[in-house]
């Protein structure tokens, strides 16, 4: 393995990790993209007690295509987990908001994801977990584009 270059090793590790996370079905009961959108809404809900985000912001945060965001929102709306709202300032801007009474449905999925996160912490230790979070945030803040 020493003969491989670091970029190749990093790419391989990245592909393996993303495959393990996605394939471990940490989002039981919700599709992967649905869980990601609900996590954004839930985090916003924890911040402001409302949990409202524009569809444009969801696309920016998740790096999903607008069409995929729209399909995901449609599915979550059908499941009764969120609702669409138009901006009072600009009717062209669409927001979505989590439905408080249905948060338990998301939280059951979210708690499974947290259990997986805790298992990873148990494997790599808190120091490496904190380093992983720090490194991930550094990459995110660099707004890496290829």
Domain assignment present for 1? no
Domain assignment present for 131? yes
Domain assignment present for 41? yes
> Quick check: 27 pLDDT over 70?
no
pLDDT, tens digit, for every residue of 135-145? Answer: 888 888 887 66
Share of the chain above pLDDT 90, in %: 42
Domain count within the chain: 1
Q: How would you class 58 by CB atoms within 10 Å of its CB: exposed for 0-12, middle for 13-18, buried for 19 or more?
A: buried
> Quick check: 116 pLDDT over 90?
no
Spatial separation of the C-alpha atoms in residues 19 and 17, rounded to whole Å: 5
pTM surpassing 0.85?
no
Domain range enclosing 120: 26-140
Domain assignment present for 17? no
Domain assignment present for 93? yes
Domain assignment present for 77? yes
Q: Residue 82 in contact with residue 40, Cβ under 8 Å? A: no
Give the CATH number for residue 64: 1.10.10.10
What is the band of 29 on the pLDDT scale with cuts at 50, 70, 90?
confident
Mean pLDDT of the chain, nearest integer:
86
């Amino acid at each position: 393995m020493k003969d491989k270059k670091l970029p190749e090793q990093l790419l391989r590790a990245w592909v393996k990790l993303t495959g393990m996370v996605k394939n471990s079905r940490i989002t039981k009961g919700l599709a992967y993209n649905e869980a990601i959108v609900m996590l954004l809404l839930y985090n916003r809900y924890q911040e402001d007690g409302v949990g409202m985000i524009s569809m444009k912001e969801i696309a920016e945060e998740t790096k999903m295509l607008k069409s995929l965001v729209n399909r995901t929102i449609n599915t979550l709306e059908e499941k009764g987990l969120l609702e669409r709202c138009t901006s009072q300032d600009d009717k062209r801007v669409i927001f979505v908001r989590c439905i408080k009474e249905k948060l338990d449905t998301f939280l059951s999925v979210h708690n499974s994801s947290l259990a997986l996160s805790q298992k990873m912490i148990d494997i790599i230790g808190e120091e490496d977990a904190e380093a992983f979070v720090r490194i991930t945030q550094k990459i995110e803040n660099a707004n890496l584009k290829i």
